[in-house]
Amino acid sequence: MGALARDADALEVGRSPDSGGKTRRVLRRVESPSIKLEEVEYAAGFCVPRHAHPYAFISYTISGVYWTAHGCGGLTCRPRSMRFLPLGERHENYFPVRSRCLLAELPAPLLELAREHDSTLRTPGELSPQPAATLGAQLYREFRRADDFSGISLEGLLLQVLIARAEQAVRSAGPAPQWLRRVRELLHERNNSRLTLRELARCAGRHPVQVCRQFHSRFGCTISSYLRRVRVARAQSLLDRQELSIAEIALRCGFSDQSHFTTAFRRLTGIPPRQYRKQKR
């Protein structure tokens, strides 16, 4: 393994007022030809729309708290928790408070080593609290002290995390049922129009009570909360386009008027959309 690169300068991606104008900053990076870890800070109120990465990764929460949703459900990531996301898994994140995470991109050879131990490592999810707290703390300590000899230690710790995740996956409930995933898809496909619970239930072929209960159980929030996050995340991206007025963005994102949009945006991000746009400039 080659020498590790360390102490990356803060990398700015987006803006927000509570972190000096930045919504996402890379505070430190450790990188070699076969491994890459970053300590990243996220600003309060930052919504990340649904997306996917061309690699699998592990996220360890150092401080703060955030909510994430993926194909198997949703979860709240608290300090010392750790989650695994397979390559190409579509997901979204919401950071209600300023948070710091350690993100580790997982190279294919490392994944193959883990799958030699157990082939079930293909579903996203959180690692149980005890191994997550122990292995995450060890991984972060090694990351902070990284030198020319840390590569093998970091790879070994990541492999331990993957094996622990694979062993846990055998006992997990598996992916969310197809009908529930369809409900979530509808919330994304029609995020600029009005939806009713009866309509969602009819499309899923389930009773409205079952839809509500299963959605909350799997994704860790109500349908309305999820839809609000989806629409605010879309609005954050549209606020980059200076030719669109606040009222136009409100309508494009499915809000009945600018007042409702401003209220929902402020509740999630902590600031009104007009101020958010000024900060992004």
- Does residue 66 fall inside a structural domain? yes
Instruction: Give the pLDDT confidence score for residue 110 in this predicted structure.
Output: 85
Q: What pLDDT does 99 receive?
A: 97
Bridge partners for 12 per DSSP: 25
Residue 1 lies in a domain: no
Residue 232 and residue 47 in contact, taking contact as beta carbons nearer than 8 Å = yes
What does the pLDDT average to over 6-25?
A: 49
Q: Which of 169, 200, 226 is the last residue of a domain?
A: 169
66-to-142, 186, 280 alpha-carbon distances in Å: 24, 23, 22
Residue with the bigger pLDDT between 61 and 150: it is 61
Give the confidence band of 52 by pLDDT, cuts at 50, 70, 90: very high
- Residue 161 covered by a domain: yes
Last residue of a domain, one of 101, 135, 169: 169
Tens digits of per-residue pLDDT, 145-188?
877 667 778 888 898 888 888 777 655 556 788 899 899 988 88
Q: In whole angstroms, give the CA distance from residue 231 to residue 239.
A: 12
Is position 51 within any domain? yes
Mean pLDDT of 7-32: 60
Same domain, 26 and 120: yes
- pLDDT value at residue 71: 81
How much is the average pLDDT of 76-84? 94
- What span, in angstroms and rounded, lies between the C-alpha atoms of 273 and 152? 46
Lowest mean pLDDT among 138-142, 209-213, 244-248: 209-213
Yes or no: say if 214 and 181 are a contact pair by the CB < 8 Å rule: no
Same-domain check for residues 131 and 191 = no
Of 118-127, 158-167, 181-190, 258-267, the poorest mean pLDDT is in 118-127
Residue 149, pLDDT score? 64
Q: What is the CATH number of the domain that holds 93?
A: 2.60.120.10
Q: Would you state the structure tokens that stand for residue 123, as one six-digit string? A: 């579903």
Q: Which residues 6+ apart lie within 8 Å of 44 measured at CB?
A: 16, 18, 19, 95, 96, 97, 98, 269, 270
Mean pLDDT of 46-55: 92
Q: Compute the radius of gyration of the chain from its Cα atoms.
A: 20
The arithmetic mean of pLDDT across residues 42-54, rounded, is: 93
pLDDT of residue 266: 92
Question: Do 104 and 161 sit in the same domain of this protein?
Answer: yes
Amino acid 9: pLDDT: 38
DSSP codes of every residue in the chain: -PPPB--PPPEE-S--GGGTT-SEEEEEEEEETTEEEEEEEE-TTEEEEEE--SSEEEEEEEES-EEEEETTEEEEE-TT-EEEE-TT--EEEEESS-EEEEEEEE-HHHHHHHHHH-TTTTS-EEPPHHHHHHHHHHHHHHHHT--TT-HHHHHHHHHHHHHHHHHHHTTS--SPPHHHHHHHHHHHHTTTS---HHHHHHHHTS-HHHHHHHHHHHHSS-HHHHHHHHHHHHHHHHTT-TTS-HHHHHHHTT-SSHHHHHHHHHHHHSS-HHHHHHHH-
Assess if residue 155 is contained within a domain. yes
Residue 258 falls inside a structural domain:
yes
Residues contacting 224, CB < 8 A, separation 6+: none
* Total domains present in the chain: 2
Instruction: Determine, yes or no, domain membership for 2.
Output: no
% of residues, the chain, pLDDT over 90: 41
The amino acid sitting at 38 is E
Q: In terms of domains, do 232 and 136 share one?
A: no
Query: Do 230 and 252 fall within a single domain?
Result: yes
Whether 55 and 159 map to the same domain: the answer is yes
Give the lowest-confidence range in 41-55, 168-182, 236-250, 264-278. 168-182
Neighbouring C-alpha atoms within 13 Å toward the C-beta of 262: 9
* pLDDT attached to residue 96: 94
Task: For residue 200, give the CATH number of its domain.
Answer: 1.10.10.60
Query: 109, 137, 169: which is the final residue of a domain?
Result: 169
Same domain, 247 and 133: no
**pLDDT, tens digit (0-9, with 9 covering 90-100), for 181-224:** 899 988 888 866 777 888 888 999 988 888 888 888 888 888 88
What's the confidence (pLDDT) of residue 2? 43
Domain span including residue 102: 11-169
Q: What is the pLDDT of residues 88-108, one digit of tens each?
A: 999 999 999 999 999 999 988
Residues 27 and 157 occupy one common structural domain? yes
Are 205 and 78 part of one and the same domain?
no
Mean pLDDT of the residues in the chain? 84
More confident residue, 7 or 225: 225
The region of weakest confidence among 11-15, 67-71, 92-96, 125-129 is 11-15
CA distances from 113 to 2, 106, 156 (A): 20, 11, 11
Q: Which residues have CB under 8 Å from 51's CB, separation 6+?
A: 90, 91, 92
